[in-house]
Amino acid sequence: MSRLSSKIFWPALIISLVAALSLILWSGRSDQMSFREMACVFEERSPGCLDSIRDWNEGLAYFDSSVAATRDTLNSLKNLLWAFWNIEFAGAGEASITKDAVLPLRVLENRTSGCMGLSWLALMVAEARQLQLDAILLPGHVFLRYDSLNLEPNRRGYSYTDNEYREKYKDGNWTGLEFRPLQVHEFVGLAAFDIGNFYLEKDVPRALTWYRMAEEFFPKYPGIAVNQSIAKSRFPDSL
């Protein structure tokens, strides 16, 4: 694909995805959004695509058999993520915000992830099996909370306390949105934001389209407007 056609194709493709996903918000159905359906839609697949993904279905079967044998839901979930699927941390920085590290179907295929991709995959399992699992926001990071227990996605479920997280991220940009469960539309907005950040230094038009998607889903998150402004200031230089 030529550079010119790429600049036309990718924004148009993502804008069409933004429009399709935004219909859910504009129709007042954001509370009906599903982590599983969004995983498919972000890959431009039908919302029920998981039914045909072998690794997903084998994982659920493993989880069910583990719960039946041990009656331990938490350890069954942790073993699914970090033993059966054996998801490894992709690394800090840029490695954790590529599409392969953020989008859960790619995480499932490649078995590497940042905090967003692993958390999204775990939330899909929790949704499918009606587990009480939430994603919790920190500055530049998310972690999982199972009932009252914190699980660190980049350390194979290690449990930090809230105070330990506050100390670790004390120098970050706090927004007032931290330490509360993220809704589905907020979480996928953060995923779009991460992908936009990946493209910010490489492909400004593509970054802007991902930021637009992020803004539609999580307008309260201030980092989106900040990075949009940075991208727009660079836009003439990217032509």
pLDDT in tens, 205-217: 999 999 999 999 9
How sure is the predictor about 115, in pLDDT bands with cuts at 50, 70 and 90?
very high
Tell me the average pLDDT of the chain: 89
Q: Tell me what pLDDT residue 15 has.
A: 53
Q: Once rounded to an integer, what is the mean pLDDT over residues 109-124? A: 97
Radius of gyration of the chain (CA): 18
Q: What does each C-alpha distance from 63 to 11, 67, 229 come to in angstroms? A: 39, 6, 44
Residue 86 CB contacts under 8 Å (≥ 6 apart), including other chains? 111
Q: Once rounded to an integer, what is the mean pLDDT over residues 108-117? A: 97
User: Residue 45: pLDDT above 50?
Assistant: yes
Nearest Cα to Cα of residue 232 among 218, 212, 217, 216: 212
Residue-wise pLDDT for 56-105, tens only, equals 999 999 999 999 999 999 999 999 999 999 999 999 999 999 999 999 99
Q: Tell me what pLDDT residue 33 has.
A: 85
Please report, rounded to a whole number, the percentage of residues in the chain having pLDDT higher than 90.
81
Q: Tell me what pLDDT residue 63 has.
A: 98
Q: Tell me what pLDDT residue 239 has.
A: 47
Q: Tell me what pLDDT residue 234 has.
A: 84
Q: Tell me what pLDDT residue 13 has.
A: 52
| DSSP result, the chain | --HHHHHHHHHHHHHHHHHHHHHHHHTT-GGG--HHHHHHHTTT--TTGGGG-HHHHHHHHHHHHHHHHH--HHHHHHHIIIIIS-PEE--SGGGGSSHHHHSHHHHHHH-EE-HHHHHHHHHHHHHHTT--EEEEEETTEEEEEETTEEEBGGGTTB---HHHHHHHTTTS---S-TTSBPPHHHHHHHHHHHHHHHHTTT-HHHHHHHHHHHHHH-TT-HHHHHHHHHHHHHHHHH-
Rounded to an integer, what distance in angstroms lies between the CA atom of residue 203 and that of residue 223?
A: 19
Other C-beta atoms closer than 10 Å to the C-beta of 219 total 14
How sure is the predictor about 8, in pLDDT bands with cuts at 50, 70 and 90?
very low
Q: Tell me what pLDDT residue 110 has.
A: 96
How sure is the predictor about 169, in pLDDT bands with cuts at 50, 70 and 90?
very high
Please provide residue 144's backbone torsions phi and psi, each rounded to the nearest 5 degrees.
-105, 150
The reported pTM is 0.88
The answer to whether the CB of 153 falls within 8 A of the CB of 115 is yes
5-9, 23-27, 127-131: which is most confident:
127-131
Q: Once rounded to an integer, what is the mean pLDDT over residues 143-169? A: 97
